[in-house]
Structure 1
Amino acid sequence: MPDTADIAAEREQIDTALAIEAARKRSASSPVPCGRCYNCDEFLAEGLTFCNADCRDDWQLRKRMQGMSIT
Structure 2
Amino acid sequence: MADPVDRAAELNEYMQEKQLEAARVKGPEVHATGYCLNCGEDMPNNQRWCDADCRDDWEKVNNRRRGVR
Q: Same fold (TM over 0.5)?
A: yes
How many equivalent residue pairs?
A: 44
Deviation >4 Å, runs of 4+: none
Q: Distance in 2 between matches of 1:44 and 1:60?
A: 18
> Unmatched 5+ residue regions in structure 2?
1-24
Instruction: State the TM-score, normalizing by the size of structure 1.
Output: 0.54
Higher relative contact order (CA 8 A, sep 6+): 2
RMSD: 2.2
Segments of 5+ residues of structure 1 without an aligned counterpart are 1-24
For normalisation by structure 2, the TM-score amounts to: 0.55
Alpha-carbon distance in structure 2 between the residues aligned to 1:46 and 1:40: 16
Corresponding letter in the other structure for 1:45: P
Q: Which has the higher helix share?
A: 1
Partner residue, 2:66: 67
